[in-house]
Amino acid sequence: MKPYLIFAALALSLTGCGLQPLYSGGGAGVVATTLTQIEVAPIQGKSGWLMSTALSDRLQAGKAPAVYRLEVRLDDRITGLGVRRDNSVARERRTLRARYQLINLVDGAVLLDATAGSDAGIDAVGSEYATIAAENTALERLSGIVADQIVSRVALYVRRTAPTAP
């Protein structure tokens, strides 16, 4: 069987499955416009600043008047895993967890209450500067990953609760 026939058959079989694009309508769609109406509440600490910036960038916060507020509480931990003969740590794990709530500013109702998180392994080398730099890089990367999770879940919530067009 020819490859293009397989792809054509696959495409035809997916048309009736009920899948719909999350961002249907592009930048003018319900999900995209709702995401721009979310303000990100201030988050404490360095990890909070990184997370707030990542969320604001992804949501394009401030493009439209705020209708919703996203409140995020972070738990940022570094745990030593491997120990050398001299009792120094050889490997660390940085874990970033976020509990977030999407709040309607009109009535104060909590629309979404969920968690997101990720972790990264860090080699603790002989140089303290290099280890601190690796910890900071891991935090920056984790902030982006967790922000992506939060925005995806908020977008799914918006898509599920959006009024359907006739």
pLDDT tens-place string over residues 78-104:
998 878 888 778 889 999 999 999 999
Query: Residue 63: its pLDDT value, please?
Result: 78
Q: Which CATH number applies to 20-161: 3.90.1580.10, 3.30.300.130, 3.30.470.10, 3.30.160.150?
A: 3.30.160.150
pLDDT band at 17 (very low <50, low <70, confident <90, very high): low
pLDDT over 50 at 59, yes or no: yes
Query: Residue 47: its pLDDT value, please?
Result: 94
Residue range 62-75, pLDDT digits in tens: 778 889 999 999 99
- Residue 49's φ and ψ, nearest 5 degrees, are -65, -45
- Residue 95's φ and ψ, nearest 5 degrees, are -120, 130
What is the value of pTM for the model shown? 0.81
Bigger pLDDT: 53 vs 17: 53
Least confident of 24-38, 65-79, 109-123, 138-152: 24-38
Q: Strand pairing partners for 32?
A: none
Q: End-to-end distance of the chain based on CA atoms, in angstroms?
A: 41
Tokens (6 digits) for 22 = 């999350």
pLDDT over 90 at 21, yes or no: no
State what percent of residues in the chain have pLDDT above 90: 56
Query: Residue 26: its pLDDT value, please?
Result: 53
Residue range 131-145, pLDDT digits in tens: 899 999 999 999 999
Give the residue among 104, 121, 122 at the shortest CA–CA distance from 113.
104
Per domain, the residue ranges of the chain are: 20-161
CA distance 19 to 113: 25
CA–chain centroid gap for 54, Å, is 8
SS (H, E, C) the chain: CCHHHHHHHHHHHHCCCCCCCCCCCHHHCHHHHHHCCEEECCCCHHHHHHHHHHHHHHHCCCCCCCCEEEEEEEEEEEEEEEECCCCCEEEEEEEEEEEEEEEECCCCCEEEEEEEEEEEEEECCCCHHHHHHHHHHHHHHHHHHHHHHHHHHHHHHHHHHCCCCC
Query: Residue 166: its pLDDT value, please?
Result: 39
